[in-house]
Amino acid sequence: MCCVRTELQVLLVDFLKQENAVSHHTWEFQTSSPVFRRGQVFHLRLVLNQPLQSYHELKLEFSTGSNPSIAKHTLVVLDPRTPSDHHNWQATLQNESGKEVTVAVTSTPNAILGKYQLHVKTGKHILKSEENILYLLFNPWCKEDTVFMPDEDERKEYILNDTGCHYVGAARSIKYKPWNFGQFEKNVLDCCISLLTESSLKPTDRRDPVLVCRAMSAMMSFEKGQGVLIGNWSGDYQGGTAPYKWTGSAPILQQYYSTKQAVSFGQCWVFAGILTTVLRALGIPARSVTAFDSAHDTEKNLTVDTYVNENGEKITNMSRDSVWNFHVWTDAWMKRPDLPKGYDGWQAVDATPQERSQGVFCCGPSPLTAIRKGDIFIVYDTRFVFSEVNGDRLIWLVKMVNGQEDLHVISMETTSIGKNISTKAVGQDRRRDITYEYKYPEGSPEERQVMDHAFLLLSSEREHRRPVKENFLHMSVQSDDVLLGNPVNFTVILKRKTAALQNVNISGSFELQLYTGKKVAKLCDLNKTSQIQGQVSEVTLTLDSKTYINSLAILDDEPVIRGFIIAEIVESKEIMASEVFASFQYPEFSIELPNTGRVGQLLVCNCIFRNTLAIPLTDVKFSLESLGISSLQTSEHGTVQPGETIQSQIKCTPIKTGPKKFIVKLSSKQVKEINAQKIVLITK
């Protein structure tokens, strides 16, 4: 009697949840598809129409991208009963119980990133289902992965932490800006995987974090009909959201994913925030970094050139280079097998569209080691980043002599660019200064040697040296941050070789500007002649509050006051110049939130604010945001007079368990942003 062999069929495939997936935190993503990291084992449960026999054919096919092929590594075919080469994906039978089979699958540590479709083939029958989709990410827990990060505390910070901050303001007045990265939020990872597909990356390029970082840097900004976020530094944000109003990445990425339309509007910290989120979601350790007094060297000559007239007014059509009060970008962690030995580790990646790199608005990844050494031609864009943090600044005085422009350098500053480079500390809500990772200490022999090395690589002689002064040694200008509505004092400090009595003419030109150096409004010119005696002298210029108050309503941005001051010794005709910035201080406000809350139960936040300013605040609004609640909550209060105290209640309902950071912001026409925050433990 002969045996009839019936065809084997797979009726159902399940991805099983397992401990190593929990330890790799892939189950925290709010996605409909399972998420795994490359080099990590995962398990499949197959439900068959009959017990598996030795003569049955059983193959697993994992494919990614269009037109998948084995040759391009976009199609992986596995037989769980046949051992694979150790360089390839692995699949092994773990358990057989009647008509159910469990298979363990391990991808390679250099597998292609992205969305995979699973087909199960049994003879002529192939199980195809849109539900059999998985996402594969980089794996900083895997030693063989190029993004491996050995320290667990750093992995928690740079991969798993979904809240953090940016540092903004000025070098002398650093402000903390809370930011929700939200990489595990609904549709965020789906958006990131979609961005990989939308980018110019070939599928095989998606195995390389260097190329992925570069592509994601380009995809963050909108250009030629593609990209997540539209940059806007105009001060006019009609038709979109003012950049300072964003407090997290998730709403931006979710909106882009649902509409496939670029989101309006962003500035550097917003671009850095969404890029940090995207890289963390994809499995690349990332941190947001701020450099204060950051240069934009448009001429790519390693110097920042500013041209001023005799009143200290910047000549805008000549001054193409600029210095931003602060600039925020992202550092990504990876090995660099594409470079000579010694360039692994942190790499600078910038999503803010400033200069084209190989024809595209993107920047990096540039090794911090190369930046520190002045190896300016190490890819990618190291020369640009080097100038941002370590360029020399030249101040040119432009005079009209016999109808001709006469230019000469009146100041060469070697320590003014790239100060207090900052990031959030690992595991703590405090600032960590990482300037030393980007450059040697200012004024040190090593720092000057690096500059000489960079100029040598540029094959460019430094045409200018520090101006020789017979009497004048040094000039600096100090200003304290000013409470909005109060006068601003600028103290000019003059150091001379002589203590003899001399006369000095001081000219100052003041304007309201954005953090990028863009002029918003001319405020005034101040001139003063003083007699000075002694080797160190001080002269004070005072800017009345009336000169700036009315200009604050012009823009929907956080402004600063910039002063450019020129001092000339009457007797010797020696001239020096210096630039100074003054930021505004605002009153604080307090919030009252319980230490704990429950999912689905009302949570009440009490906000208390007293206007200690000398001016009324209009269009006052409180807003509360957290990754633990369903949506942004707001409360409006109109006008708050000087000395008036207001209280507000904002009610919300938590939807997720765990310690959740609640960010409360106060904004008005005059005060763009004050924030307070508290962590609340949400339980079931």
Q: By C-alpha distance, which of 515, 488, 484, 414 is closest to 167?
A: 515
Among 491, 46, 509, 556, CA closest to 309: 509
DSSP conformation letters of 176-193:
EEEEE--TTSTTHHHHHH
For 46-68, b where at least 16 C-beta lie within 10 A, e where not — what string? bebeeebeeeeebbbbbbbbeeb
| Residues tagged active-site | 268, 327, 350
| Triad 625, 628, 632: Cα angle to 5° | 30
Q: What 8-state DSSP symbol labels residue 338?
A: T
Beta bridge partners of 464: none
The residues facing 513 across adjacent strands are 519, 560
Token look-up 């003063």 returns 528
H runs (alpha helix) in 246-361: 250-259, 268-282
DSSP labels for 85-134?
PTTS-EEEEEEEETTEEEEEEE--TTPPPEEEEEEEEETTEEE--TT-EE
Cis peptide before 265 (omega within 30 of 0): yes
Q: What's the chain's length in residues?
A: 684
> Which residue type sits at 431?
R
What contacts 291, CB < 8 A, 6 or more positions away?
A: 326, 327, 329, 388, 389, 418, 419, 420, 421, 422, 438
Furthest-apart CA atoms within the chain: distance in Å: 124
Q: Give the separation between CA 618 and CA 549, rounded to whole angstroms.
A: 13
How far separated are the first and last CA of the chain, in Å rounded? 63
Q: Check if the beta carbon of residue 470 is closer than 8 Å to that of residue 488.
A: no
Residue 390 is assigned to a ligand binding site: yes
Looking up tokens 């369903």, which residue turns up?
630
Six token digits for residue 262: 């670029």
Question: Which residue from 152, 179, 678 is spatially nearest to 424, judged by alpha carbons?
Answer: 179
Contact (CB, 8 A) for 564 and 508: yes
433 Cβ contact list (under 8 Å, min separation 6):
420, 421, 422
DSSP state of 629: B
85 is in an annotated binding site: no
**Residue 392, annotated as binding a ligand:** yes
Place of tokens 């006008």: 639
Work out whether strand 303-308 and strand 133-137 pair parallel, antiparallel, or are unpaired.
Answer: unpaired
C-alpha–C-alpha distance, residues 354 and 219, integer Å: 14
Per the annotation, does 442 bind a ligand?
Answer: yes
Using CA atoms, how far apart are residues 585 and 21, in angstroms rounded to an integer? 47
Q: Which amino acid is at 56?
A: H
Known binding site for Ca(2+): residues? 390, 392, 442, 447
Known binding site: residues? 390, 392, 442, 447
